Structure 1
Amino acid sequence: MVPDRAAGAEEPSPSEVVGRSADLRPMCRGPVPARLDDMITARRTGGPPRRSAATVALLVLLVSALVGGCAAPAAPAPDPAPRTAVPTAPLTAADVGAWLDGLVPAALDRSGIAGAAVTVVRDGHVLAARGYGSAGPGTPVDPGRTLFRVGSVSKVATAVAVLQLADRGLVDLDADVRRHLDIDVPMPRGPVTLRNLLSHTAGFEEQIRGLIRTGPGGPSLREFLATDPPEQVSTPGTVPSYSNYGYGLAGHVVERVTGEPFERYVQREVLDRAGMTTATFDQPLPAAAAATMSDGHTSVDAPPMPFEFVSPAPAGSLSASAADMGRFASALLGAPGSTPLLSPAAWALMQRPALGPDTLGALADGPRMALGLFDESRNGHLVLGHGGDTQWFHSHLQLYPAERIGVFVTTNSSGRGGADTLDLRRAVTEGFTDRYLPGPAGPAPAPDAGTPARAAAIAGTYESARRSESTFMGAMNLLAQMRVAARPDGTLLVSPAPNDVRPAAYAEVRPGLWREVGGQRLLTVRTDADGRVTALGHDAAFTELPVGPLRDATLLGTVLAGSVAVLLGALVARPAGALWRRRYGVVVATRPRADRVAHGLTRAAALAALVALTGWVVSVLTIASLGEVPLPVLRGLQVLQWIGVLGVPVAAAGVVTALRARAGAWSVTGRVVLLLALAGIAVVAVVAGLLLPSLTY
């Protein structure tokens, strides 16, 4: 049988949890692609970046990204407008249908989303199954037939498969997962359990290479997992950090225990049992399914994009119609007439927080991951859900266990703006709760005399724990920093807000717990024995970690901007000076040979550093758009970057030579400035991880 829960786990308290924002898809917490918030529940806004061959333009792009796009502190924002009362209504098929028909078409027209579908079920009955917009040329969306890529909503089915095996005694959720693996996955920070994998607390760093392809022929699940696995960077169970790789491992355990491919087991034991007639994890799609697959778009104005092949499959390869997702919800909820997917004990376990304060500490005061489901509770109602995004498709599933209600919304394009799909999904999911299940908004803020001091202690710069620490992709972390400012009234201004592209204010509920002003999202604060903030928790599977001043993107961006300007000026000044002297017949004394060599090496180092930066811009933007960069190219960029770093001692020697030769003030000053510029770029390269030996991404 399934064990009851992890040691220390507690029953969820709906009054102290908040709906996790529908997973959004611009890949950073801001307008600059920087962080894959979920590349199967990720944030995405369109296709590959436009690339320019102009070195200066690319360098300006990098500098502006660091200095302005995500680094600069947001201007103080006014408090959100007071919440207005949301009209409530009876939960009937007629009212739900009319409400959706008034909401969704207008949102599609406004945002440029090509098509969407929504299903609402209660006690196994369909209250609404609506299709809106276009699935392809001349083809309207049919909620019963049109297939959508549901992205990381697939993880719910994967979690169900694991819990089925646990229910039969074939796996232990709290045992070292390596007992079931036939591949080597290093775990230096501690053994990982299935509970860790299903709750995103295994401690793996982010890895995005190969997540989405546009053609078949990719590796098998085992091959994907065995090839260059990510580093384990935190102790399991202590730092929630969303991981697609973790769910790939969970799916591989299903394969190893059942002796059959993951897709086959889940099709028979989960999808077919739930009565899902269109759903499949198969890639490519079977012919019959391919005929009803919706096109994917960046927006309604853009051409259709190729079918996306997702790896690892257990993390996000499910295709299904909206009606089938309603059947899946009904089966999970144990609705009358449906075939239960789990025993009552296993379903009860799936609803509970996976971990407790014994490992999470104060992070357990906020919303916590259940096994495969996010706690998205709202208005005092327990709501469990999961969002999912590929590059073009964006979906969200919510379950109300007590009311036996399921809501599913999906779109086939991203829209014209960075938050269009986020706004639509929130309008449907949160709007549904507010309209049909009103209740208390959550714990009320209760600041006291110590609140301003605690706010000041929290203020600072943070980076997501879902990041790369051992590779050059650490540079993307700099573009996704979150800034927290303490305001005079004792509230916090978080810019951008967690899982959003806009800032939000938070007021203290009690020490260690803050609630969004005018909203229901919560922010938890974990401190060490000395009271220093060690982590901010939000949205169940996400943690923000404080960074020191040397990793502050504003400082690094300023250093980088100044250094690039100096190096560009130095490279231009040499030939410009030669032309000026030739035109006006100015003769200068010949420098000593050693000085000429040192000066030439310094200029070569400057050129190498600038070329490397250009290459990193192209590479990071390509990878952020899920393209691939050949490893020899990345290693070549590192060689160029090292040449730039080695130019620092050469430039320093040039300064010493100039001082000994009693060169003029302009000469000495110029060499000092050049030295500082090379050193500045070297510091940025080191802090960003551009020189780390691993090329994994």
Structure 2
Amino acid sequence: MSFAEIDAACTAFTQQERLPGLAAGIVQEGRLTHVTTIGLADIEAARPVMAETAFRIASMTKHMTALAVLALRDQGKLVLDAPVAEYVPQFAAVKPATRDSASVSVRHLMSHAAGFVTDDPWGDRMLGMTPAALDALMAEGQLFARPPGLAFEYSNLGYALLGRVLTNVSGEPYQSFIRRTFLDPLGMARTTFDAFAAMKQDFAWGYRQDEGQWSRERIEPDGEVGAMGGLVTTVPDFARWIAFLLDAWPARDDPESGPVRRSTIREMGLWHSMPWPLELPGAVPEATAYGAGLMNSVHGKLGRRLHHSGGLPGYGSHVLMMPERGCGVFAFANRTYAPMSRLTLRLAEMLHDATATPPLPPPSPFLAQAVESVVAAYAAGRIEVPGAIFAGNFLLDTPARYRDAELASLKERLGEGRLERIEPTHALGGKFTLACARGRLKGTIILSPDARPGLQKLVLTAEPL
């Protein structure tokens, strides 16, 4: 695959979805490796989209907000499971969903589990809400669809409240805290919450189409709801952000170099809400749940992917990261609610198909020794070979004579074998393959968490020729 094929896929998508303009970026190995730009940033002036054209990215702002909350948690300035009212006193006036409802926590807000009604159409027009208006909403609004913690309800209001939490806890405006914590350290000079300031440079105007006619959408100003979807950014700037996030994988002992700890970034992908099957056009639904500002899905081809969409009147966007591959794909468009997740998934699949499978990490010494003992046991036809280390449960669960009979049966079917590969899942477990005369022997192994880890589980499967 060449980047020309990426450009062709973006062009076809732009035509199919009737987008005025599109910008897409690919991040690999810590840098922006390709940019695609198509169409117009300004229809009336016939001004094309360029690499430095700024787009509103809407709800893709949420994972930056969530990471900012986690950064304050790391600093010991807030507790995720504390009631929101502890940091936003006005929230104490909010009438609970039921008399026996649990208090809404910061974690509930981050994971869309506060029980608030889903509010996309309303919230997308509320970016310019004033502090007084948010206070009034907390005092008088009908916020709840159900009690907190019972289900996933995507809530822009929840992230607006996180912006207020960040303001009150940090002691400075949310936007200022984000700039000081992330934007300035990462060199994201063209990224801002002030769309009107962004308009003074290369800016993509947002459009809608009615009865074949394009018209500009109203640009909402920066305000109290900016924490849910107010960012304006460019492809080079956003690539810096994605490279920063992807650098959190794999977990390792290197010195920390980013604005927040790598482990904190990885925490964003942990599921904190009810899982649901994410429906994809023409594909098998994916197991998906919301973490902290990012969705975590298990894709049949790509494996685990972290992603989030964004949509506002005039704009659509999506980011997809494959952390185990160190790769990210994102795309912006200037048409109302453009379905950019369909494009990023297509581009990610193209990249997956064109790149080699990442090399496996070496097995830990404990895992390697355990696999070697199983290989020796298979060759000897008995499980208790010299050097084998068993956990206390292993031969109690399946006595040696039954293990020996299993080995004899497998060897009769497959013949002699040699170790072909070890695929670690982690330091204390993984899979291995023996190439045998008449097929392959597949094994899954888990070690015990002892000072000297031993075999606690072993599953062997024959794959005859």
Per the normalisation by structure 2, the TM-score is 0.65
Which segment is superposed worse, 224-233 or 259-268?
A: 224-233
2:313 pairs with one of 374, 391, 398: 391
Q: CA deviation at 1:331?
A: 1.2
For residues 182-201 of structure 1, the aligned pairs below 5 Å read: 182-183=89-90, 184-187=93-96, 188=98, 189-201=101-113
Q: CA deviation at 1:247?
A: 0.6
CA distance in 1, matches of 2:308, 2:332: 12
Secondary structure at 1:196 match in 2: helix
CA distance in 2, matches of 1:409, 1:158: 20
CA distance in 1, matches of 2:205, 2:303: 36
2:247 pairs with one of 334, 342, 348: 334
In structure 1, the residue matched to 2:80 is 173
For residues 58-97 of structure 1, the aligned pairs below 5 Å read: 89=1, 95=2, 97=3
Q: Which amino acid aligns with 1:163?
A: L
Q: CA deviation at 1:227?
A: 5.4
Secondary structure at 1:387 match in 2: strand
Q: Which amino acid aligns with 1:396?
A: H
Contact 1:196–1:236 (CA under 8 A) maintained in structure 2: yes
CA distance in 1, matches of 2:143, 2:122: 17
Contact 2:10–2:36 (CA under 8 A) maintained in structure 1: no
Contact 1:331–1:338 (CA under 8 A) maintained in structure 2: no
For residues 582-601 of structure 1, the aligned pairs below 5 Å read: none
RMSD, aligned α-carbons: 3.1
1:142 pairs with one of 50, 58, 63: 50
Which segment is superposed worse, 292-301 or 121-130?
A: 292-301
2:333 pairs with one of 407, 411, 421: 411
1:477-534 Cα offsets, whole Å, 9 max, x none, are xxxxxxxxxxxxxxxxxxxxxxxxxxxxxxxxxxxxxxxxxxxxxxxxxxxxxxxxxx
In structure 1, the residue matched to 2:146 is 234
In structure 1, the residue matched to 2:170 is 258
The unaligned stretches of length 5 or more in structure 2 are: 250-254, 279-285, 355-465
Give the strand-richer structure, 1 or 2: 2
In structure 2, the residue matched to 1:377 is 298
Q: CA deviation at 1:214?
A: 9.5
Per the normalisation by structure 1, the TM-score is 0.44
In structure 2, the residue matched to 1:107 is 13
Contact 2:128–2:220 (CA under 8 A) maintained in structure 1: no
Q: Structure 1 residue runs of 4+, over 6 Å off?
A: 214-217, 335-338, 361-365
Q: CA deviation at 1:301?
A: 4.2
Secondary structure at 1:251 match in 2: helix
Q: CA deviation at 1:165?
A: 0.4
CA distance in 2, matches of 1:165, 1:214: 26
CA distance in 1, matches of 2:65, 2:316: 19
For residues 453-602 of structure 1, the aligned pairs below 5 Å read: none
CA distance in 2, matches of 1:241, 1:231: 11
In structure 2, the residue matched to 1:204 is 116
For residues 646-665 of structure 1, the aligned pairs below 5 Å read: none
Secondary structure at 2:154 match in 1: coil
In structure 2, the residue matched to 1:291 is 201
Secondary structure at 1:203 match in 2: coil
1:317 pairs with one of 225, 230, 237: 230
1:248/1:218 CA distance change after superposition, 3 Å = closer
1:430 pairs with one of 331, 345, 357: 345
**Residue 163 (structure 1) aligned with residue 70 (structure 2):** yes
CA distance in 2, matches of 1:211, 1:301: 26
Contact 2:183–2:191 (CA under 8 A) maintained in structure 1: yes
Secondary structure at 1:113 match in 2: coil
CA distance in 2, matches of 1:216, 1:433: 35
Secondary structure at 2:153 match in 1: coil
**Residue 281 (structure 1) aligned with residue 193 (structure 2):** yes
In structure 2, the residue matched to 1:343 is 261
Contact 1:122–1:406 (CA under 8 A) maintained in structure 2: yes
Q: Which amino acid aligns with 2:297?
A: E
Contact 1:212–1:309 (CA under 8 A) maintained in structure 2: no
Q: Which amino acid aligns with 1:437?
A: H
Secondary structure at 2:208 match in 1: coil
1:399-418 Cα offsets, whole Å, 9 max, x none, are 2221221111010014xxxx
Q: Greater relative contact order (Cα 8 A, min sep 6): structure 1 or 2?
A: 1
For residues 660-679 of structure 1, the aligned pairs below 5 Å read: none
CA distance in 2, matches of 1:217, 1:196: 22
